[in-house]
Structure 1
Amino acid sequence: MILRTAALAACLALTTALPAGEVAEFGKTPEGEMTHVYTLSNDNGMKIKLLDLGATLMAAEVPDRDGEKADVLFGFDEAAKYLSDDNQYFGVVVGRYGNRIAKGKFTLDGKQYTLECNNDPNHLHGGGDKAFSKVVWEAKASDDGRSVTFSHSSPDGEEGYPGKLDAEVTYTLTDDNAVRIEYAATTDKKTVLNLTNHAYFNLAGAGDETINDHEITIFADRYTPVDETLIPTGELAEVAGTPLDFRTPHQIGERVDLMGEGEGAGYDHNFVLNKTASDRPGLHKAAKVTDQDSGRTLTVLTDQPGVQFYGGNFLKGQTGKDGKTYAYRSGFCLETQHYPDSPNQPQFPSVVLNPGETYKHVCVYAFSAE
């Protein structure tokens, strides 16, 4: 894995590799660092936009069954918004550890490490100001202009994690309207790692008032039950007979009221994926979602053992791109991942990364119209 350390060289390389107008300044962070947005197009006219701040998937213009396009991703028109309280991880890469670690503590080889508890009483999505979602990544395009690779180096001890970590995330837009995300990372010290993307989708178009009418299938027989602080109990429970049984298609809102009442109630669960065959080698199907009005369909494929399905229970009416409002339960996330709190759950698949190893993770968001 080759990691870039010269931000200026990376920006110049990207500018020459992509067509004119496909790279643009997006605004400065509060510290004065300029950010950039990169646009990729395929032969079908589909476009995605990527932001170096947070290595963010910020827009995807997807056709419906009649060829009409709509941006189906949540995001903002200003760089500062991505660093504000309004941003609930819209489209960003989260890390070093996506999802929660109980009480911000884990032990490796007998040594305990302490992380920031930014989701009281737990650690969430990599922590504070140096979490991967809040830093500007270096960027470089492929020679054919179909993909962009973002790279970031995190020093030993940052946010409490051991080891100097060099990470890359490559986004590719294919001609069959799929966004392929490939993660890679190396470390100089034994550490834990669980990267993912936190894109929010509404297949009717970002800003539509609900996703409860979307139909979802999740290819999982089991899930990881959680305690009152959303930390797994360690059990791998059957979805059968519960409102979490999406092995056959159901509307998202059909049974959501059975998931409890009050703030945050609803779907926010890690599913233990079956190894369901797919047409893409090395990947299995995680989920399929369809907006029946437009016909837009999202199929998620991955090589990871889990996927977090989140139904937008904490959305608060933020104003996003083009003045659109992101209302309560108007967006959903499907975050391919290892299970939450895996560093403290030895029975879960390991998230340990050793020196000399390369972490790899592939997620595909494949769009179509039915």
Structure 2
Amino acid sequence: MSRRVFGLLPDGATVDEITLVAEGIEARVITWGAVLRDLVVRDRAGRSRHVVLGLNTIEDYLLHSRNFGAICGRVANRIADASMSIDGRVFDLTPNFRGRHTLHGGSAGFSRRIWRVADQARDTVTLVHLSPDGEEGFPGAVEARCTWRVAAPGTLCVVLTATTDAPTAVNLAPHPYVVLDDAPAIDAHRLAVAADFYTPTDEDGIPTGEILSVAGTPYDFRTPRRLRAPDAPEAGYDVNLVLRRAGAPPGLVRVATLESGSGDLALSVLTTEPGLQLYDAPTLDIPVPGVDGRRYGPRAGLAIEPQRFPDAPNRSHFPSVVLRPGETRRQESALVFA
């Protein structure tokens, strides 16, 4: 483990970078947004690969990041009309998406806050963010914790927990953009997801409330398929898949696999969560180089976001995101490369 100053925010606050190392894997995490900035693993030929999208300066993150590698919260994904109710009380949130909805916790959600380093070791770092009552309109003070850990030969784990002093909503989610080869886009990657259903949305990406079968849709990844198959959505993928967890024991379950177009590296995704958001970033156009020197254009990476469902605060039949005093919300996910 090593730690260095990564940069300064406009207000003078320091952003640090922590490097985590285990045999065959190295991760770099910055304290702004608890961001996974870089992840290097070995492919099947023994070559080192940068496998997540990341940027080189804090200025680049402030100007250009699309939540690259961040921890999103207090509530990840969308909340319709920037409004929710808990126990009959309505809360007006910060609208930061299309002028009317809340996305990833608001304009200054957890992905744009400095997290404090609480503990660190050669292969692990734990970061803490204290979110005050009323931040972005959310009720209750929340303490969020994020632990990133690497393990040999190619595993990255993230554990997210949250507690509160008043009823609130919490849905923390990691937001890495994954790329497994050197191609400019992930079009040839092959994806499989253990999901029989998905949550359809309106034109703003807000769930309609339905839970529909993936059969006959572009969201049917029950067997491996190329990300840019002929029937792929013209506007790209931005969908929450309902993961198949019935009968599975509590804890981590493998829910998805992704293989590079060249076939020399694969990723298994494990999570405790009921949903998986897929976003292939069709409008991505970053004007500065990434960590590996490449420019990130359309579909340069696939965002893989284990989560509870979008707009859950307004959908009582979705897995609840309400958190109450005395409870701990816990999410664990892992990326395993081979």
Partner of 1:137: 115
Partner of 1:192: 169
User: Does structure 2 retain, via aligned residues, the 8 Å contact 1:256–1:267?
Assistant: no
- Any stretches of 5+ residues in structure 2 without a counterpart? none
Partner of 2:15: 35
Structure 1 distance, partners of 2:287, 2:77, is 22
1:125 aligns with 2:100: no
Structure 2 distance, partners of 1:297, 1:276, is 25
TM-score (norm 2): 0.96
Identity in percent: 38
Q: After superposition, give the CA deviation of every residue in 1:197-233 in whole Å (9 maximum; x if it has no partner).
A: 111111014xx31101000001100000001111111
1:303 aligns with 2:272: yes
How many angstroms does 1:109 deviate by? 1.2
How many angstroms does 1:141 deviate by? 3.5
1:288 aligns with 2:268: no
Structure 2 distance, partners of 1:298, 1:322, is 19
User: Does structure 1 retain, via aligned residues, the 8 Å contact 2:73–2:170?
Assistant: yes
Structure 1 distance, partners of 2:231, 2:333, is 26
Q: After superposition, give the CA deviation of every residue in 1:181-208 in whole Å (9 maximum; x if it has no partner).
A: 0011100000001001111111014xx3
Change (3 A) 1:128 1:224: same
How many angstroms does 1:354 deviate by? 0.4
Partner of 2:245: 275
Q: After superposition, give the CA deviation of every residue in 1:290-344 in whole Å (9 maximum; x if it has no partner).
A: 0041521111111110000111122124422254200101110110000000000
Structure 1 distance, partners of 2:73, 2:255, is 21
Looking at secondary structure, tell me which structure has more strand per residue. 2
Partner of 2:40: 61
Partner of 2:218: 243
Superposition misfits of 4+ residues, deviation over 3 angstroms: none
Partner of 2:159: 182
What is the total number of aligned residue pairs between the two structures? 336
User: Does structure 1 retain, via aligned residues, the 8 Å contact 2:33–2:112?
Assistant: yes
Q: After superposition, give the CA deviation of every residue in 1:85-131 in whole Å (9 maximum; x if it has no partner).
A: x11111111110100000100011111101111111311001113x1
Pick the aligned partner of 2:139 from 134, 151, 162. Answer: 162
- Any stretches of 5+ residues in structure 1 without a counterpart? 1-17
Partner of 1:346: 316
TM-score (norm 1): 0.88
How many angstroms does 1:176 deviate by? 3.2
Change (3 A) 1:366 1:219: same
Structure 1 distance, partners of 2:46, 2:153, is 14
CA RMSD, 1 decimal: 1.6
User: Does structure 1 retain, via aligned residues, the 8 Å contact 2:250–2:272?
Assistant: no
Structure 1 distance, partners of 2:95, 2:230, is 32
How many angstroms does 1:256 deviate by? 5.1
Change (3 A) 1:159 1:190: same
User: Does structure 2 retain, via aligned residues, the 8 Å contact 1:277–1:285?
Assistant: no
Partner of 1:224: 199
Partner of 2:335: 365
